[in-house]
Structure 1
Amino acid sequence: MNRFLLIFILLLSFVFMSCGGNSTGPDSDGDSGTDTTMYDVDLTGNPSEGGTISPSGQNTYEEGEQIELQAQASEGYVFSGWTGDITSSDNPHSLTVDQDYSITANFEVKSYELTINTEGNGSVDEKIVEQQSKEYEHGTLVELKAVADKGYQFVEWTGDVTGTDNPVQIMVENPREVTAVFEKKSFGVNVTTSGSGSVALNPDQQEFLYNSTVELEANPDHGWSFVEWQGDVSGTDTLVTVTVDTAKTITAVFDSPFAGGTGTEADPFQISTIKQLQAINNVEYSSDYFIQINDIDASATAGGSGGIEFTPIMNFEGSYDGQEYTISNFTINSTSDYIGLFGWLNKGAQISNIRLVDVDITGGSSTGSLIGHNLGEINNSSATGTVHCLDERCGGLVATNRGSVENSFADVNVSSNSGLVGGLVGINRNEIITSFALGDVSGTTQVGGLAGSTDANGESGYSYRIFRSYAQGSVAGEDYVGGLIGIQFDGSYISSAYATGKVTFTSGSNTFIGGLVGRYNYSGGTFVEYCYWDKENSGQTEAVYGGDSNVTGLTTAQMTGSNAVTNMPDFDFVNIWQTIDAEYPALFWE
């Protein structure tokens, strides 16, 4: 019992001694002193992966001890402050331990600004994978899509993103700046023409920046006119301004009074209708080149409903090539002078390969089926039908010839109320070469089967006015009537020619008539050689009034078929003339 009591007393004493360990007071020796007080400091991180803390975890410190709290943010995080038993953003933070502490070090994910710039006209759409804000948390993946404005196109990214991919992704791990570069689109302007002409562009280029302007000027070729714009431009103004806001296709439409061509020697105007033929009668086309591209029925010139009153082509000095196509049923009924398909040809004009068929021409002075007054060159052309003149100078093909007629013929019945009438030419003042007339001829004076008269007139240096030519039609007149020529003047040589038609007076008592020439009107000399006439068919015993020993009269039999070779020895039957059974000699070119 006593033993248990002693043990209890000893334990109680020990407890009292322990409770006095954290307090101050006199020690057992009676000395003054301080016992140490201890406190716990508990440190945590929020979030735990946001960083580390020093010192870490839970630690015990003596009261009054100074400790330094240090927060170290992990990559992509930033320390944002201390919370718990203290509130502070200091880092490091100095703490005097005077109690137990529970402290949290707070971390936040870093946020970065992504700066988007544009160069040119456009915008950038931002598509954020995990969140959407102007500032992006560290590691945010952002998709950028460049969107060009109308008329612009995306070119490239510059700055923290480079390249041409669109869209493109960028990882925001720090502040970023990106520029989307746009540029104006270029559009083509495709200009074509319909017809013959050109379009001038100012500026002259093929590609144009968006919303830029270009002037278009339509320039018709010679003989053409501008009609209108078609396609992405409309209107009839020759000069237009186009705003290029997209690709353009534009056509300039040109029109011509002709079937084609530009009037040059290499690209002549093309004639396919009587209206186009009439259109030549314009001073604008007087020196141009023309070709006929098909047969033309000129029946409309006879008048009636829908008819055309054809006006002769005047002052023409260009070139017309009929290409041996026909112009049929051509009619003129006029009292004017200088009548024909061409009223007047100037020097330099060239008419070739025209075939007039079944013409019906009536006119005043200088009327012919093809030409009224000729100063140009006529080659390989012909006419059939009738010609009637109200006044002098009347010809089956040409009325007045002051140029040349070669390899041509007329099978035209020619009549006139006056003189200077011929089956091919009314009055010849220059050259008729390897040509002939077949039609009947009638008039008053100076009437001939080939030409009414011929004279030198100082218009040609050529030795002969009539050369290697003939006439076969009947000839009737009041005076100066001949099977080939009505009257021949000084210097107008005739060589290698013949006449076969009947030659008669119609009235009066005049006597100038001959099988070849009605009268020589010159004082002396020889101006006719190598010529023949059919003294049987013509009814004339003399070649010319008063006779001419240089001209040979033959019978019809002597002049036809192969007999002609023997009886007409001055003719070149190898290169120029040919014989035809029971027919008079013909030219090889016929």
Structure 2
Amino acid sequence: MVSENTDHDGDGRIVNEGGITRRDALKAGASLSAAALAGKYVTGGVAAQTSTTTDGLAGSGTQDDPYQIGTIDDLDKMRDAPGAHYALTSNIDATPTETWDSGAGWDPIQEFTGSLNGRGYTIDGLYIDRSAQCALFRKATAVVENVTINADITSQGYKAAIIAAQHLAAGSLTVRDVTLTGTISGGTQVGAITAMRGVETVKRCTIDVSAQSENGAVGLVAGAFDGTMDDCIVNGSVTGGATGVGGVVGGNYGTIRGCCVTADIDMGSDSHDVGGVAGINGESGAIEAIDVEGTVATGGNMAGGAVGDCLGTIRGVFVDATVNGSQYVGGVAGFAETPAKIELATSRGSVTGDSQVGGLVGEAIAPIVTDASARSTVTGGSATGGLIGHLSSNSTNLHSVVVAASVDSTASSAGAVTGNRSYSNSGRSTDPAVSVFWDGDVAGVTGEIGTVGDTIADLDRAATGQMYELTTPEATGDTATSNMPALDFETVWGVRDGDYPVVESIQSVGCTGANLPSTDDGTGDETTTEEPVPPGGGVTSSQDSVAKWIPWGIAGLIGLGLVADDDGEGGGE
């Protein structure tokens, strides 16, 4: 059994020996890359030996001898050789771009197929206000790494981003160890790294932007995403009236994992498909090992703390957010329909809506929900439940679920577990198993299913096909292990004195770069006295970093499938 002596913070997140949560660790680690990478290139003040080209840039434009960029005018010369390799030699003041081209600003480089290595330096004040497809690069098949960019981007039409408005070929853009800050605005397809699909890899990036869109596909990282994203910090706000809105991506068709997200999303009455991570998580989409905080608010439908509309996989998420919407509103997913899977998930905070409101899922049409905990305050009208607002299919799998949600609803279709169901048998799922344990002392309503009322008779807490009511003493501390026999207390669930069982694995996954002190002295001229550090703060594999946060060791995480044996990445220069 996972030890009850494992240290946690006040919200149930595991902390290490120094009292640091994984969210704090990732934030600390992310600050390392710029300092470490700058030191890698400037330690001792020795610059690379290069030659001078006819266009005035030092270097030859090869991967071993990239063109050297030290000013905004140098940066502008990249358009003359868009297939070459470039590296920054200093911080760049890009604020003069605000007056370029009669106030239209930077003219996006049309097709960039080379690489840009920032070497830990910053491009500050990049400005664009143009008709469409606005970004540093209009189209890119490239590698961008080790750079901070602060920008103010406005597209009067479609596609607004800081790095690339779109790709040249699917899966062709790689972004590593990049920090993006500023504002992005567009009519549709808005994101800091890219406006649309086509990114292959995003690793160890920090995004802190404000994004605005009136029509659709907007996220703080990407409007739509079909690549792989690992170990990122995403902060910021999203406003407007768009559909398909996420704190990370508008639509996810790839894999997002190991990220910490703090997003404040405030959309209009016509917006729907809105989530703290992704507005839409398609069938091919996977959201894994994510920590979500903030606010998700829309006047429309399908709002979720992690995902608005889910057809894919949500695995290993910890959501502590305020979620507000109209219909189909959930702490993790607003709407979840087969083949959706929600596994190893915890929802806290508050969930409020008009109808189909649930602590975990607003509307469930035969998804698989396994090893989940719903502890939100849930407020709604018809079909309001502590776990699921409306259970639309008797094929929904609810296995190893703990519900300690407070439900505030005067509707007859309000229940401690689910507010309403649309199938004919009396509350028992015939296919496949149901094992839900709920605390009747805190539920605020009578009965697990609003349309059935009271409790279902003759329940056996060890059997399948059951929703079993417990008291708070029965559902907390060590006594929970005997009263909730369906839960795996060996590898998945843990107990704490006086509290409900915790899905330990989701509070212990996905953060890297927390093993070194920052070398930033606040001057902007970071150096290091240590051996050169690879991108990511010296973490050489996902196992090295995640192991620090797993009470029972990395083998358990590999067994759960949340961590690969190796991240498969070589050097990041």
TM-score (norm: length of structure 2): 0.51
Shift of 1:274: 4.0
Say whether residues 1:544 and 2:418 are aligned partners: yes
Q: Residues 501, 196 of structure 1: CA spacing in aligned structure 2 closer, same or farther, 3 A cutoff?
A: farther
Shift of 1:526: 4.6
Q: What is residue 465 of structure 1 aligned with on the other side?
A: 341
Say whether residues 1:327 and 2:217 are aligned partners: no
Q: What is residue 197 of structure 1 aligned with on the other side?
A: 61
Q: Residues 365, 535 of structure 1: CA spacing in aligned structure 2 closer, same or farther, 3 A cutoff?
A: closer
> Would you say the 8 A contact 2:147–2:179 is kept in 1?
no
- What amino acid does structure 2 have at the position aligned with 1:574? E
Q: What is residue 337 of structure 1 aligned with on the other side?
A: 216
Say whether residues 1:502 and 2:368 are aligned partners: no
- What amino acid does structure 2 have at the position aligned with 1:429? L
Q: What is residue 172 of structure 1 aligned with on the other side?
A: none
- What amino acid does structure 2 have at the position aligned with 1:493? I
Q: What is residue 575 of structure 1 aligned with on the other side?
A: 491
> Would you say the 8 A contact 1:415–1:421 is kept in 2?
yes
- What amino acid does structure 1 have at the position aligned with 2:363? I
Q: What is residue 249 of structure 2 aligned with on the other side?
A: 371
Q: Residues 274, 472 of structure 1: CA spacing in aligned structure 2 closer, same or farther, 3 A cutoff?
A: same
Shift of 1:575: 2.5
**Of the candidates 419, 422, 435, which is equivalent to residue 304 of structure 2?**
422
Residues in 2 aligned to 1:387 and 1:268: alpha-carbon distance in whole angstroms: 28
Residues in 2 aligned to 1:190 and 1:319: alpha-carbon distance in whole angstroms: 33
Secondary structure of residue in 1 paired with 2:162: helix
Q: Which has the higher helix share?
A: 2
- What amino acid does structure 2 have at the position aligned with 1:521? S
Residues in 2 aligned to 1:467 and 1:503: alpha-carbon distance in whole angstroms: 21
| CA deviation vs aligned residue, 1:535-561 (integer Å, no higher than 9, x gap) | 557786431124745322125555555
**Of the candidates 262, 273, 278, which is equivalent to residue 384 of structure 1?**
262
In percent, how many aligned pairs have the same letter? 22
Say whether residues 1:432 and 2:314 are aligned partners: yes
Shift of 1:418: 0.5
Question: After the TM superposition, which segments of 4 or more aligned residues of structure 1 sit over 6 Å from their partners?
Answer: 189-193, 309-312, 537-540
| CA deviation vs aligned residue, 1:279-300 (integer Å, no higher than 9, x gap) | 133323763353442655x2x3
> Would you say the 8 A contact 1:404–1:431 is kept in 2?
yes
Residues in 2 aligned to 1:538 and 1:583: alpha-carbon distance in whole angstroms: 22
Q: Residues 278, 543 of structure 1: CA spacing in aligned structure 2 closer, same or farther, 3 A cutoff?
A: same
Residues in 2 aligned to 1:196 and 1:500: alpha-carbon distance in whole angstroms: 59
Q: Residues 465, 345 of structure 1: CA spacing in aligned structure 2 closer, same or farther, 3 A cutoff?
A: same
Q: What is residue 545 of structure 2 aligned with on the other side?
A: none
- What amino acid does structure 1 have at the position aligned with 2:263? G
| CA deviation vs aligned residue, 1:178-222 (integer Å, no higher than 9, x gap) | xxxxxxxxxxx98888467349xxxxxxxxxxxxxxxxxx99574
> Would you say the 8 A contact 2:334–2:363 is kept in 1?
yes
Say whether residues 1:520 and 2:394 are aligned partners: no
Shift of 1:436: 2.5
Q: What is residue 118 of structure 2 aligned with on the other side?
A: 259
Q: Residues 290, 517 of structure 1: CA spacing in aligned structure 2 closer, same or farther, 3 A cutoff?
A: same
Shift of 1:529: 2.0
Shift of 1:430: 1.0
Residues in 2 aligned to 1:578 and 1:538: alpha-carbon distance in whole angstroms: 28
Secondary structure of residue in 2 paired with 1:474: strand
Residues in 1 aligned to 2:416 and 2:58: alpha-carbon distance in whole angstroms: 66
Secondary structure of residue in 1 paired with 2:168: helix
| CA deviation vs aligned residue, 1:466-486 (integer Å, no higher than 9, x gap) | 112121121111110111000
Q: What is residue 135 of structure 2 aligned with on the other side?
A: none
Residues in 2 aligned to 1:369 and 1:223: alpha-carbon distance in whole angstroms: 33
- What amino acid does structure 2 have at the position aligned with 1:444? S
Residues in 2 aligned to 1:219 and 1:198: alpha-carbon distance in whole angstroms: 15
Residues in 2 aligned to 1:573 and 1:195: alpha-carbon distance in whole angstroms: 59
| CA deviation vs aligned residue, 1:279-326 (integer Å, no higher than 9, x gap) | 133323763353442655x2x3289xxxxx976722323234342x53
Secondary structure of residue in 2 paired with 1:313: coil
Secondary structure of residue in 1 paired with 2:217: coil
Q: Residues 574, 222 of structure 1: CA spacing in aligned structure 2 closer, same or farther, 3 A cutoff?
A: farther
**Of the candidates 195, 198, 202, which is equivalent to residue 317 of structure 1?**
198
**Of the candidates 279, 300, 313, which is equivalent to residue 163 of structure 2?**
279
Residues in 2 aligned to 1:294 and 1:583: alpha-carbon distance in whole angstroms: 39
1:10-159 to 2 correspondences below 5 Å: none
Secondary structure of residue in 1 paired with 2:183: helix
Q: Which range is displaced more, 267-276 or 447-456? A: 267-276
RMSD: 3.9
Q: Which has the higher strand share?
A: 1
Gaps of 5+ in 1: 1-188, 200-217, 228-253, 304-308
> Would you say the 8 A contact 2:329–2:358 is kept in 1?
yes
Q: Residues 535, 400 of structure 1: CA spacing in aligned structure 2 closer, same or farther, 3 A cutoff?
A: closer
**Of the candidates 498, 504, 524, which is equivalent to residue 587 of structure 1?**
504
1:204-353 to 2 correspondences below 5 Å: 222=83, 224=85, 259=118, 269-275=145-151, 278-284=162-168, 287-293=171-177, 296=180, 298=181, 300-301=182-183, 313-323=194-204, 326-328=206-208, 330-347=209-226, 349-353=227-231
Q: What is residue 292 of structure 2 aligned with on the other side?
A: 410
| CA deviation vs aligned residue, 1:457-502 (integer Å, no higher than 9, x gap) | xxx6xxx611121211211111101110000113x22122121111
* Higher-Rg member (1/2): 1
Gaps of 5+ in 2: 1-49, 64-78, 89-112, 121-139, 153-160, 422-426, 429-433, 440-470, 510-573
Shift of 1:362: 4.3
Q: Residues 226, 359 of structure 1: CA spacing in aligned structure 2 closer, same or farther, 3 A cutoff?
A: closer
Q: Which range is displaced more, 538-547 or 190-199? A: 190-199
Residues in 2 aligned to 1:405 and 1:333: alpha-carbon distance in whole angstroms: 23
| CA deviation vs aligned residue, 1:148-191 (integer Å, no higher than 9, x gap) | xxxxxxxxxxxxxxxxxxxxxxxxxxxxxxxxxxxxxxxxx988
Q: Residues 494, 333 of structure 1: CA spacing in aligned structure 2 closer, same or farther, 3 A cutoff?
A: same
Q: Residues 384, 560 of structure 1: CA spacing in aligned structure 2 closer, same or farther, 3 A cutoff?
A: farther
> Would you say the 8 A contact 1:488–1:517 is kept in 2?
yes
> Would you say the 8 A contact 1:414–1:422 is kept in 2?
yes
Q: Residues 224, 286 of structure 1: CA spacing in aligned structure 2 closer, same or farther, 3 A cutoff?
A: farther
> Would you say the 8 A contact 1:317–1:376 is kept in 2?
no
**Of the candidates 509, 529, 533, which is equivalent to residue 399 of structure 2?**
529
> Would you say the 8 A contact 2:315–2:342 is kept in 1?
yes
Residues in 1 aligned to 2:219 and 2:61: alpha-carbon distance in whole angstroms: 33
